[in-house]
């Protein structure tokens, strides 16, 4: 009899954990990169050259969140680069290139 009670408790705990995971997943958020309506643009002056770094430092992401890059695809692109290329501000050898569909 005690075995059935234990199994019921385990079943209920697992059910509750599954429910909580589903709720957490549904709270995913899509962040517009840069945090403003201008979207993903090249900073126009040196005072804003750290804009994206500053934005990333104050924005808190969670597992399941996504980033939205809004940009003029005729002028800009989204590239994944190595840390070294990022630090040197070069796009000569991108790891990945992302295009609008």
pLDDT tens per residue, range 20-72? 777 665 677 888 886 665 666 666 666 666 777 777 888 888 888 888 878 77
**Assigned token pair, 29:** 């958020």
d(CA 48, CA 23): 38
φ, ψ at 100 (rounded to 5°): -75, 145
Residue 91 has pLDDT above 70, yes or no: yes
Phi-psi label, residue 5: left if phi above 0, alpha if psi -120 to 50, beta otherwise? alpha
Residues in CB range of 40: below 8 A, 6 or more apart: 33, 34, 69, 70, 71, 76, 78
Residue 1 has pLDDT above 60, yes or no: no
């Amino acid at each position: 009899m005690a075995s059935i009670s234990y199994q019921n408790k385990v079943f209920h705990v697992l059910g509750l954990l599954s429910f909580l995971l589903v709720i957490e997943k549904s709270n995913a958020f899509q962040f517009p990169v840069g945090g403003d309506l201008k979207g993903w643009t090249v900073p126009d002056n040196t005072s804003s050259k750290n804009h994206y770094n500053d934005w990333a430092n104050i924005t808190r992401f969670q597992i399941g969140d996504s980033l939205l890059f809004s940009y003029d695809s005729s002028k800009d692109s989204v590239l994944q680069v190595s840390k070294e290329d990022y630090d040197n501000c070069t796009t000569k050898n991108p790891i990945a290139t992302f295009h609008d569909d």
